[in-house]
């Protein structure tokens, strides 16, 4: 599978600018690219409690519709983050958009300091089948919690995609975490981070990466903007799992109700505290 990692700078509360850059990156994809991945909340940047109501959009809003149209035109899939408005409730959301529509929606379950008071936490993990691969989504801080990726693995995920907004001085944390999450779940892990300074002065650390199911770092970007092409060989899943499979051997399963949908969507609902 050919994937492009769009490690871009963005503007907080700058939807028109961010969308223009996303559409340009999609249009410039290689002819054999099947998927392009963008950073956390790329479409809107990071709103504040004062701006989120004006900036966030519903999933059927004009910005997502524009990305869907671009995906259809290029016949590829797009993973991209946004600030979602669901009838006045706001979420840090990442979407897997295919030419057929939104295949997967994930709302960040672990809110970092700057998310709190702006977004609500999501209440479930989800995977879907895409191009013969079961895909799960995570967002930034989620990968610092092993249970997040394990929840997706319990739902059958073979590819973990992380939209990231990680900043200094925490770049080493996510480099370590993404390798661990791939290795301990015997799945590919893709992480795409933002770069350059945000409106609040935070310096985003780049370091977008691809890790194979053995935990081997196959690609790591630097701190500069760029779109990087990587290739995933899913035969590596069989290599990683041929002698042992952690999910079969683990002694404790994560709690929560698993819901199977006719469309192939598979969800694990997070139990109430």
Residues with active-site annotation: 40, 108, 140
The closest alpha carbon to 230, from 221, 240, 243, 239, belongs to 221
Q: At what angle do helices 15-27 and 62-74 cross, to 10 degrees?
A: 10
Asked if residue 113 lies in contact with residue 120, where contact means CB atoms within 8 angstroms, the answer is no
Cα(10)–Cα(46) distance, integer angstroms: 9
Q: Starting at the earlier edge strand, list the strands of the sheet with 159-163.
A: 217-220, 209-211, 188-192, 159-163, 133-139, 124-130, 266-269, 258-260
Cα(89)–Cα(189) distance, integer angstroms: 30
> Strands 35-37, 77-86: parallel, antiparallel or unpaired by DSSP?
parallel
Chain CA centroid to CA 180, Å: 16
Residue with tokens 């002698």: 243
Chain CA centroid to CA 113, Å: 19
Q: Which residues pair with residue 161 across a beta bridge?
A: 137, 190
């Amino acid at each position: 599978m050919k994937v492009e990692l769009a490690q871009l700078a963005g503007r907080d509360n700058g939807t028109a600018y961010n969308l223009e850059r996303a559409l340009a990156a999609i249009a410039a994809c290689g002819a054999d690219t099947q998927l392009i991945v963008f950073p956390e909340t790329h479409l809107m940047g990071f709103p504040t409690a004062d701006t989120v109501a004006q900036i966030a959009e519903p999933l059927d809003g004009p910005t997502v519709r524009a990305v869907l149209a671009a995906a259809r035109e290029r016949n590829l899939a797009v993973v991209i983050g946004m600030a979602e408005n669901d009838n006045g409730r706001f979420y840090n959301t990442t979407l897997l958009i295919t030419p057929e529509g939104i295949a997967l929606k994930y709302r960040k379950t672990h809110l970092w300091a700057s998310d709190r008071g702006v977004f609500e936490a999501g209440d479930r993990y989800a995977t879907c089948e895409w191009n013969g691969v079961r895909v799960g989504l995570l967002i930034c801080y989620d990968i610092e919690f092993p249970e997040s990726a394990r929840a997706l693995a319990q739902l059958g995920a073979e590819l973990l995609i992380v939209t990231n907004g990680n900043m200094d001085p925490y770049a080493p944390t996510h480099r370590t975490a993404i390798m661990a999450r791939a290795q301990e779940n015997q799945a590919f892990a893709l992480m795409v981070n933002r770069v350059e300074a945000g409106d609040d002065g935070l310096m985003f650390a780049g370091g977008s990466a691809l890790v194979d199911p053995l935990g081997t770092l196959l690609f790591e970007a630097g701190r500069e903007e760029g779109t990087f092409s990587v290739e995933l060989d899913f035969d590596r899943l069989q290599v990683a799992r041929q002698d042992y499979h952690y999910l079969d051997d683990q002694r404790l399963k994560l709690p929560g109700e698993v819901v199977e949908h006719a469309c192939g969507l598979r969800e694990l609902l997070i139990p109430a505290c």
